[in-house]
Each structure stands twice: as structure tokens, then as C-alpha cells.
Chains A and B, each alone.
Chain A
Amino acid sequence: GDSVTQMQGQVTLSEDDFLFINCTYSTTWYPTLFWYVQYPGEGPQLLLKVTTANNKGISRGFEATYDKGTTSFHLQKASVQESDSAVYYCVLGEGNMGYKLTFGTGTSLLVDP
């Protein structure tokens, strides 16, 4: 079945640092890849969606792309702020069952002021 591997469990940065989070995926179908963000006390919410390899998704200063050759996708931001502290999930949408999502284990980002 489909799977997503998110290796970075916790990342600590200072304000204005560069953020890069990477995931790998496995699927037999054409993937749609998402990044969801979860703030304390809330449910996850969609941050970005990428439907085409090597095309960027951009939202709130975050960028995401995926590479079919290496089956990896990543999230980056040039300059993080304290308000970006949250848990970030990479998520794989199944090509022929678009309503079923597979979540990674999450990366907890802490940004020190």
C-alpha cells in the first residue's frame, strides 16, 4: 500500500532561519501530495497541495515541490517566524482513491524568538 516517511521528528530554529523538511513516498498511482500544519489545540489544516512533479505550491511564504525520480517531496521557507511553530505533516493522496490520505508522522517545528 501507499506510504509516507517523514524522518525529521523535531526541528528547532531561530527566527529568520531557513526551513527545509523532507519526506519520501511510495505509491503505485499518480500522487497528489499535501502539507498540513497543526497548531496547538487545533486540528490539522491544509497548508499546500502539489499535484504536478517539479511544480511549486506556494502559500503563506512556504513552498513545496516533489520529485518523481527520487519519490521525495519537501517543504521550505526562507525565513521562519515564531508564529510558524507547529507540527507539519506530509500527506499522500492515493491516485485512484483521492478521498483517502496517508499521513506522515509529523515534524514538530519550534522557532525560538
Chain B
Amino acid sequence: EAAVTQSPRNKVTVTGGNVTLSCRQTNSHNYMYWYRQDTGHGLRLIHYSYGAGNLQIGDVPDGYKATRTTQEDFFLLLELASPSQTSLYFCASSSGQGNERLFFGHGTKLSVL
């Protein structure tokens, strides 16, 4: 079974704070994704990447940066966190070979006070 590990599991910060969410996959997958999950919206794609050094913009990218440092590691950066970014964040990976299965991590719960 594919493994995707997110850290931290919970994070609290203040408005204007700087936050980095980490994700590592050990499945040799090419594609990695960051989603946010909010009641009434389901999962919305923030950014994704198809390999080290690559970054693609998702559907709700405003206020977020991301970086893919290696095939395994994908980071989500909030440089000036706002209360609207309070959410549950999921990282996922896939082989990316056309409509393939996504493997999700357990999520990071972020609260911006």
C-alpha cells in the first residue's frame, strides 16, 4: 500500500504567521498534490507537481506557495497566514499515468487565530 506521510498533524499559528506543511511519499510516484478540505466545499486543489522542481497551479492557489524539492518531498508554504486558511490540508500522490488512483496522507489540521 502506498505511503504518504504528512507533518505536523496539527498546527496553530497567528494571523500573519509563517507556516510550512510537509509531505513525503515513498512510492516513487511522479505526481504530488495539496488539497484543502472545508465543510460544504469538499476537497479543493491548491497546487500540484509532476516532479522535482516542477509546480503547477491548482484551483485555489491564492495565498499559498509550494515547492517540490525531491521526488519524495512536497511542501506547502503559507507566508502570511490568514484565518480564512484555517482548514484541513491533505497531501496526495499518484503515478499520474492518466486518471490513476490518488493516495492520501492523514491530513494536517491548521488553525490560524
Contact = CB atoms under 8 A, between A and B. Distances in A.
Contacts of B100: 98-99
A101 interface: yes
A46 B101 CA distance: 7
Nearest to B91: A43
B19 interface: no
B96 A99 contact: yes
Contact of A99 (B35, B98, B106): B98
Nearest to B98: A98
Contact of A105 (B35, B42, B48, B104): B42
Nearest to A33: B99
A106 B90 CA distance: 15
B71 interface: no
Contacts of B103: 45
B104 A44 contact: yes
Interface string A24-53: 000000001000100001111110010100
A64 B19 CA distance: 40
B113 interface: no
The 5 closest A-B CB pairs, nearest first, are A43-B104, A98-B98, A98-B99, A93-B99, A32-B99
A43 B92 contact: yes
14 contacts: A42-B106, A43-B104, A43-B106, A46-B101, A51-B99, A98-B97, A98-B100, A99-B98, A99-B99, A103-B42, A103-B43, A105-B40, A105-B42, A106-B42
Interface string B36-50: 000011111100101
